[in-house]
Amino acid sequence: MTNTRAAALLLSVLFIPACAPKTQTTLNPPPEPNPQPQLATDARERVKELSSRAEEYVKNAGNLPGRNADEDRAQVTQQFALLAQILPMLNGPEMSGDFRQQLRIIDSTRSQLASASQDLSSEPTVDTGLRAAHHALESIDQRDFSATPQIAKSLDAMRAKVRELDSVTGAIHRLVAAQAFKSSAEAIDQMTKALNERLGGK
């Protein structure tokens, strides 16, 4: 009996090391790839891409509101898609948790506008997305562009229009939202030009 117990104990000791590496493997999965460093590889390339996207955003803002609710919805969806690309370029790779949250809201807004039924009102979704866009732009302005007061003026105008959205509906809502997009386009254009000037100065 003693020999049987000793043999069993020996076998258990021998099998423990063989199992240990599997436990370590499952506890340490490979990290998920992080796409953010792409923004920091070359500042000039980032600003060049930003300039192209900002130009498109400004042009589209000038065409708002759309001729009808469906056309307006499609154009606004495109504006939020552009914002999701422009804001990280303006901000750079160092993103705060709050900034990332605003980006998630903007992308969710774009997704909901693109996929939701045309019978459902898009107004609350647009309002939420524009508030997030203003919040994100304002945080960038306060951190990086405080020496350019024109940007703050454009964002103040955007804030006023975003607040006005709470009290309007229908065609008037589309008009006020268009005015908010135009003010945001002015701020983005001014930020982009300021970044280009800084790079030119270097």
* pLDDT, tens only, 13-58: 444 444 444 444 334 444 333 344 345 457 788 899 999 999 999 9
pLDDT at 95 over 50: yes
Please check whether residue 184 lies inside any domain of the structure: yes
Answer yes or no: is 149 within a domain. Answer: yes
Question: Which amino acid, one-letter code, is at 2?
Answer: T
Domain that holds residue 104: 42-201
Region of 42 please: left (phi>0), alpha (psi -120 to 50) or beta. Answer: beta
- 190 lies in some domain: yes
pTM of the model: 0.78
Q: In this structure, what are the phi and psi dihedrals at residue 78, rounded to the nearest 5 degrees?
A: -65, -35
Residue 113 CB contacts under 8 Å (≥ 6 apart), including other chains: 73, 76, 77, 80, 122, 125, 126, 129
User: For residue 124, is it within any domain?
Assistant: yes
Residue 99 lies in a domain: yes
Give a yes or no: residue 56 inside a domain: yes
Q: Name the domain count of the chain.
A: 1
* C-beta separation of 150 from 193 below 8 A: no
User: pLDDT of 148-182, one tens digit each?
Assistant: 999 999 999 999 999 999 999 999 999 999 999 99
Q: Decide if 29 is inside a domain.
A: no
